[in-house]
Amino acid sequence: MNFVAALRQAADAHDSMLCVGLDPDPSRFPGAWAGDAGRIFDFCAAIVDATHDLVCAFKPQIAYFHAHRAEEQLERLVAHIRRVAPGVPVILDAKRGDIGATAEQYAREAFERYQAHAVTLSPFMGFDSIEPYLRYEGRGAILLCRTSNSGGSDLQAQRLASGEMLYEHIARLAAGPWNANGQIGLVVGATFPAEVARVRELAPTLPLLIPGVGAQGGDAQATVRAGWQTDGPIIVSSSRAVLYASRGEDFAAAARTAALATRDALNAARPPAAP
């Protein structure tokens, strides 16, 4: 099953728009695990086990693994997700952006080594930096469009000669000529709900990966209202608010409680179904 189909199926099965971001910081691990990078897999696997029936996707952030020489633990984690939650897609948050043979190797890393269903990418270098990922049939390429950080405006909100802003131009390309095989999605930050709505207007059916809910301050209800589209999946990512809901031995149970509350808050913001 391809990424978009798997995403839709998981969202329906779990009645969820929530994606749990797996950003393991050993300094914040509970109890005796605190500071122990050798426990990255154990920590993340416990979060997965506690939340996999509440989510539409998991999103491991590659830097949190690479910084601790935990690439092998990331491989084990993705295999664990595939085993305990075979219907839940894995989005590798890598934000790669390069061309030619280098892009081919990054695509191989994401889809062959780590067996991800989708990967986040920077579109700054143009379509030839995206195309190698699209050779993997059914895998997703989720492009940075309007990111949740305040500095994103430095480039993304700049107005082009055409009159549209750069992030709008990216959305048009992603929804149009770049998406011949239906593999592309977009990253749009929850901290900018008006821009979420604008991207949804330009790309009505593309999956939108929306980080920024929770610790970054994005409003769950405003996010859903801005991005909701019956035929356009929403993937609302929350990381720290779920992962570090408790520093005690109950960390996994607390993560489940936080994930359940976030999922329900997102669902409550959906418009009522048409009669």
Residue 273: what pLDDT? 66
Cα gap 128→122, rounded to integer Å: 12
* SS3 assignment, position 235: strand
- Selecting among 28, 95, 169, 270, the annotated active-site residue is 95
CB atoms within 10 A of CB 126: 12
Residue 224: what pLDDT? 87
Residues paired with 235 in a beta bridge: 209
Task: Write out pLDDT tens, residues 151-209.
Answer: 988 998 899 999 999 999 999 999 999 999 999 999 998 888 889 999 999 999 999 99
**Is the confidence at residue 120, as pLDDT, over 70?**
yes
pTM as predicted: 0.94
- Residue of 70, 91, 67, 47 whose CA lies nearest to 187: 91
**For the residues of 64-87, what is the DSSP string, one character each?**
HHHTTT-HHHHHHHHHHHHHH-TT
pLDDT band at 216; cut points 50, 70, 90: low
Sheet holding 118-121, edge to edge: 57-60, 18-22, 234-238, 208-210, 184-188, 140-146, 118-121, 91-96
Give the mean model confidence (pLDDT) for residues 26-36: 96
Give the mean model confidence (pLDDT) for residues 21-49: 97
Give the mean model confidence (pLDDT) for residues 252-267: 95
Q: What angle do CA 81, 220, 1 make, to 5 degrees?
A: 35
Contacts of 240 (CB under 8 A, 6+ apart): 23, 214, 215
**Is the confidence at residue 274, as pLDDT, over 80?**
no
**Is the confidence at residue 212, as pLDDT, over 90?**
no
Give the mean model confidence (pLDDT) for residues 21-31: 97
Cα gap 50→251, rounded to integer Å: 10
Contact criterion met (CB below 8 Å) for 123 and 129: yes
Q: Which domains does the chain have, with CATH numbers?
A: 3-268 (3.20.20.70)
Contact criterion met (CB below 8 Å) for 47 and 255: yes
**Is the confidence at residue 218, as pLDDT, over 70?**
no
59 is a catalytic site residue: no
Residue 238: what pLDDT? 92
Task: Write out pLDDT tens, residues 63-86.
Answer: 999 999 999 999 999 999 999 999
Residue 133: what pLDDT? 97
Percent of the chain with pLDDT over 90: 83
- Residue of 94, 5, 99, 100 whose CA lies nearest to 57: 5
Give the mean model confidence (pLDDT) for residues 14-42: 97
pLDDT band at 23; cut points 50, 70, 90: very high
